[in-house]
Structure 1
Amino acid sequence: MSDSDDRPLEVWLPALERFSPAHPLQALLARADRLDNGPAGYMQGLDGYFEAGVSPLPVAALTRELLASDAGTATWLCADPAWVQPDMSGARLLACGRMPLSMDEAVAFADALQPVFEEAGMRLEVSTADRWHVRLPQGLDLPVFASPEQALGEDLYTHLPQGSEGRRWRVLFNEAQVLLHQHPLQSVRAAHGLPPVNSLWLWGAGVLPARVRTSLAGVIGDDLLLQSLAKQAGVPHAGRTPEALAAAAAGWLVDLQDLPVDEIASGMATALQAQARRQPVRLAFASGERWLHRPSHRLRFWRRTRQ
Structure 2
Amino acid sequence: MSVHIFIPDLLRSELLTPEIYRELSLPALETLLAKGSFSDEKSQGTEAWLCSAFGVVKQNDWPVAIITLQVDGAKEAQAKDGYWLRADPVHLRIERNDIILADSQIFEISIDEANQFVSALNYHFSNNRYHSLSSDTEQGKIFFQSIHSDRWYLHLAHVPNLMTCSLDEVAGKDINDFMPSGADSMTWNNISNEIQMLLHEHPLNQAREARGELPINSVWFWGGGIMPQSFNCPYTHIWSNDTFCRSLASISGINYNTLSDYVDKWSQLAISGSHLVMINTLHGRVQYEDIHGWQESIKNLEVNWFAPLLLSLKNGELDQLIITTTDQNRVKNFSIVSNSLWKFWRTNKSLSIYAD
Q: TM-score, normalised by structure 2?
A: 0.76
Does the CA contact (< 8 Å) of 1:77 and 1:135 recur in 2? yes
* 1:250 Cα offset (Å): 4.3
Letter in 2 for 1:294: V
Q: How many residues align?
A: 300
* 1:93 Cα offset (Å): 1.3
Query: Which residue of 316, 334, 339 corresponds with 1:291?
Result: 334
SS at match of 1:257: coil
Letter in 2 for 1:262: E
Residue 5 of structure 2 corresponds to 11
Residue 282 of structure 1 corresponds to 322
Q: Show the 5 A alignment for 1:1-307.
A: 8-15=2-9, 16-17=11-12, 18=16, 20-21=21-22, 22-24=24-26, 25-38=28-41, 40=43, 41-55=45-59, 56-69=61-74, 70-72=76-78, 73-95=81-103, 99-118=107-126, 119-120=128-129, 121-136=141-156, 138-162=157-181, 164-243=183-262, 246-247=265-266, 249-259=272-282, 260=294, 262-266=296-300, 269-276=303-310, 277=313, 278-279=317-318, 280-287=320-327, 288-300=331-343, 303-307=346-350
SS at match of 2:246: helix
**Cα distance in 2 between the residues matched to 1:201 and 1:31:** 40
SS at match of 2:103: strand
* 1:229 Cα offset (Å): 0.8
Does the CA contact (< 8 Å) of 2:125 and 2:143 recur in 1? yes
1:172-223, CA deviations, whole angstroms, 9 ceiling, x for partnerless residues?
A: 0001111111111122212322212111000111112232211111211111
Does the CA contact (< 8 Å) of 1:124 and 1:133 recur in 2? yes
Letter in 2 for 1:254: V
Identify if the C-alpha distance between structure 1 residues 47 and 178 changes in structure 2 by more than 3 Å, giving closer, same or farther: same
Q: TM-score, normalised by structure 1?
A: 0.87
SS at match of 2:90: strand
1:92-143, CA deviations, whole angstroms, 9 ceiling, x for partnerless residues?
A: 212256731111111111111113443341221111111110111x224231
**Cα distance in 2 between the residues matched to 1:139 and 1:158:** 27
Residue 4 of structure 1 corresponds to none
Does the CA contact (< 8 Å) of 1:33 and 1:293 recur in 2? yes
* 1:159 Cα offset (Å): 2.2
**Cα distance in 1 between the residues matched to 2:158 and 2:91:** 31
Q: Identity of aligned pairs, percent?
A: 23
RMSD: 2.5
Structure 1 residues not aligned, in runs of 5+:
2-7
Letter in 2 for 1:151: V
Structure 2 residues not aligned, in runs of 5+:
130-140, 283-293, 351-356
SS at match of 2:280: coil
**Cα distance in 2 between the residues matched to 1:82 and 1:208:** 26
